[in-house]
Structure 1
Amino acid sequence: ILREFAGRFPTDYGEARSLPGIGDYTARAILSIAYNRPYAVVDGNVARIVARLGAIKGNINQPKFRGAVERAVEGLLSCRRPGDFNQALMELGQTVCVPRAPRCVACPLRKCCQAYRCGEPESYPAPRPRRATELRYLATAVIRRGAVAAVCDRRPERSNIFGTHRAPLQRMEPNPPVHCTSPWEPRSRRAP
């Protein structure tokens, strides 16, 4: 920002997106709230409100649904104070139009809310499909002779906790035969 934009955050969407770490949502939020630019900010709360207002079926993660919600918000966007509009919608979704047990009676938009009229606001948007639980069997070994030695490796890049350390693990089949060549019996423990 200092080198390319003379120390000022850019007011152009394309320039804001060119900054490292600034994605679509962040660029829209900063430009609308700080610079009064007419960009719709769509987070999960806003998507839920719009889905309920228009009784839009679909899953938040589907591009078709996301596009419909963004178009609807852009149609509602106040050009006079877009930052205030975006913040108001986000707060309404955090406090009133919540995912479970929405407080429709306290909602200022209930008169124009199709999901409220139908009596099923919790049906919108459709819940995300649950991923099937994947059962994995992993084995690790600790070998001690005299002094205790610790062996660890780094979690792989594709791990959700990349970079942390762990005992080395090996994927294995369920209930494999265990062979032991030492005088000690192998012990296994199930994770709680």
Structure 2
Amino acid sequence: MDKAQLRTKALQQRRQLSEAQWQRQSLELCANLQQWSVFQQSSRICAYFSTQREANLEPLFERLGKTKHWGFPRCVQKNLAWHPWQWGQALTTGAYGIKVPTDQTEIWSPTTVDLLLVPCLAGDRQGYRLGYGGGYYDRLFTDPLWRAVPKAGILFEAGLREKLPHDPWDIPLQALVTEKQIIEISDG
């Protein structure tokens, strides 16, 4: 299957999750993520607000709002800008119907970020991910400063593949986190 076919299949799988399954798997994934040493040691974390049945990380934002600093993306032309946000602060709807912080005056520099949580439709054991095809994260990863930030793909176990097709410009993630496991990717 090519990337477009895999995207369609992965989206269909997620849409078939009932509300209860989605919430349960999201809570299990959040609990698993909290056990990961890299997450535990991270203070400034770039994350995302769930859309299209992506794993819902909001329980972490609420529970760890005082101990972690959270940043969220906003689409600026064809790139992502990361803004700080704390639990309870206002949100608005940005591009693609995704929630973004209302206060967008501060933009985080990659040199101040400890961990980047990347939403994935699918991921493989080599660290390659399948996103929605817009290239936003691919463009982000080409920046040497963002490339240096540890990146973990967030996906449900059903999206885990042994091997995904990838292009020469695709940059692998350092880890994949599902509701059942954490896969740390070796550098080869």
Q: For this structure pair, what is the TM-score category when the shorter chain's length is used for normalisation?
A: under 0.3
Largest Rg, 1 or 2: 1
Q: Which structure carries more strand by proportion?
A: 2
TM-score (norm 1): 0.19
